[in-house]
Structure 1
């Protein structure tokens, strides 16, 4: 999905997604909006981009560690 060219509009969309995502317990809104808003905000914010990248690296390492542990356990 292409993002708008205007920085202020991308920041507004990202902030709205995060704020409404925090209200995910309400009908229609959902907690899925928070990570999506952070991805949109990371396009313009180096701080958020670094945090998002660290989270992605951590998640991948966690998946690989689980897969390695499962493979080393062998069939039961």
Structure 2
């Protein structure tokens, strides 16, 4: 699979997951994922990952970890490959998380 095809697959899978978020979060995540928002995306990703450490507190949670990693993956190639594998696994094993019917692709 070429890099362009891999990028398209990642975008498709992330788009499916983003559609599952509440409307306000969808807009925020789409805005942060734009190439021009790199200066904001990297600190936001780091803060989300750090915030996940405090998941025992009411406002923070483990949900912050994957979101932070996905935001950083746009700028860190090692994280891109890892998120690609996780997104592929989710689509294969837990398609309902992406809003897909079981066994659909």
Would you say 1:38 and 2:69 are equivalent positions?
yes
Partner of 1:59: 90
Give TM-score, length-normalised by structure 1: 0.71
Residue 12, structure 1, aligned to residue 43, structure 2 = yes
Structure 1: runs of 5 or more not aligned:
69-76
Gap runs ≥5 in structure 2: 1-27, 96-101
Aligned residues: 66
* Equivalent in 40, 55, 58 of residue 24 of structure 1: 55
Distance in 2, matches of 1:57 and 1:6, equals 26
Structure with bigger RCO (C-alpha 8 Å, 6+ apart) = 2
Q: What is the alpha-carbon distance in structure 2 between the residues aligned to residue 25 and residue 17 of structure 1?
A: 14
